[in-house]
Structure 1
Amino acid sequence: MLKRAVLPLALGLPLLLGACGPVASLLSSTDGEKGPLQFGPLAVGQTWTLSGVVDSRNVVTTVKIPDLVNVQGKFASSSARDEYTGFNDNRAGFAVATYDPDRRNAEFRWVGDAGAASFDKVVYTCKLDNLAGNPLIGTLTYTRNGQTVANGTCEANLSSQS
């Protein structure tokens, strides 16, 4: 009785394994080399140029992607601790890029120069909901001391990829 139950499974096994072949070939690299780690539009080694107009001023910065790590379900260019330190210490120029696979959007945040009021915390956020096209177009938010001051538009251009 047991032989009759096992025989159909044994005969079907090669078909099941054969169905996995296309998936395995898609996942394997033909030349044995792997490309840079990539999630959404972000890949290790990239440099992005962000620009926009908000609160009647032009804003421009560059954001490098040295690594991509999982931070609370998103993929980010720096760890949560580095991000916290950079923003908490108000380090002008510190930037982080994130990609949210659930929402399929990307976001670039950076610490801006507070000017004469050096104790103020200035943060710019370029949120990109549409990840198609070049440049990527999004919403630029300018916050000072945690309060939104103004919104504008931003562009994200891939400057280089190593």
Structure 2
Amino acid sequence: MLKRAALPLALGLPLLLGACAPINSLLASRDGEKGPLQFGPLAVGQTWTLGGVLEGRNVVTTIAIPDLVNVQDRFASYSARDQYTGFNDNRTGFAVATYDPGRRNVEFRWVGDAGTASFDRVVYTCKLDRLIGNPLIGTLTYQRNGQVQANGTCEANLSQQS
């Protein structure tokens, strides 16, 4: 009698497993594929456009995220050595994005053009403490030779993601 009861179950088992096949294949493809490395709103392959107004002039730049590495408990688009070199050598256009998971904020910093006073160090910082919405809104700071010259508001727009 037990054999007769098990026969319909045994015959239905392949149909039951076949019905699960699409779910299994869907889960398998999700498990096997990895997206770009991401921390907070920053992901490898992104390009951000930042802009703001300081002292009546527009400030605009784009910052690419080529990589994300751990730098002093933060995730940054460049290593500490690259950051030191870029800012210390005053390389106009050098930019870094940093996500602080403890504070849940993002900073975009870049070396600006010092104009005719090429020995001056010009650094812009767009600090975003509220990571909700589009564009992200934050505080823009302009420094010359380490001294804050002006503050304003900045916007960060994700302009490209590969």
Do Structure 1 and Structure 2 share a fold, with TM-score over 0.5?
Answer: yes
TM-score (norm 1): 0.81
TM-superposed deviation, 1:29: 6.9
The aligned amino acid for 2:148 is: T
The aligned amino acid for 1:82 is: D
Q: Higher Cα Rg: structure 1 or 2?
A: 2
1:30 to 2:26 alignment = no
Q: What is the alpha-carbon distance in structure 1 between the residues aligned to residue 41 and residue 80 of structure 2?
A: 20
- Give 1:15-94 correspondences, 5 Å limit: 30-94=30-94
Which whole-Å deviations, capped at 9, do the CAs of 1:47-102 have from their partners, x for residues lacking one? Answer: 00000011221100000000000000000000000000000000000000000000
Which residue of 2 is the match for residue 140 of structure 1? 140
Q: What is the alpha-carbon distance in structure 1 between the residues aligned to residue 89 and residue 122 of structure 2?
A: 11
Q: What is the alpha-carbon distance in structure 1 between the residues aligned to residue 137 and residue 148 of structure 2?
A: 20
Question: Against the structure 1 CA distance between its residues 29 and 107, is the aligned structure 2 distance closer, same or farther, given a 3 Å change threshold?
Answer: farther
Q: Which stretches of structure 1, 4 residues or more, deviate above 4 A after TM superposition?
A: none
Q: What is the alpha-carbon distance in structure 1 between the residues aligned to residue 142 and residue 69 of structure 2?
A: 26
Q: What is the alpha-carbon distance in structure 1 between the residues aligned to residue 158 and residue 40 of structure 2?
A: 13
Which whole-Å deviations, capped at 9, do the CAs of 1:10-59 have from their partners, x for residues lacking one? Answer: xxxxxxxxxxxxxxxxxx97251000000000000000000001122110
Q: Aligned pairs, how many?
A: 135
Structure 2 stretches lacking a partner, 5+ long: 1-27
TM-superposed deviation, 1:137: 0.3
**Aligned residues with identical type, % of pairs:** 83
Q: What is the alpha-carbon distance in structure 2 between the residues aligned to residue 151 and residue 62 of structure 1?
A: 19
Q: What is the alpha-carbon distance in structure 1 between the residues aligned to residue 64 and residue 30 of structure 2?
A: 29
Q: Secondary structure of the residue that 1:85 maps to in structure 2?
A: helix
The aligned amino acid for 1:100 is: D
Which is further off, 47-56 or 103-112? 47-56
Q: Secondary structure of the residue that 1:142 maps to in structure 2?
A: strand
The RMSD of aligned alpha carbons is: 1.1
Structure 1 stretches lacking a partner, 5+ long: 1-27
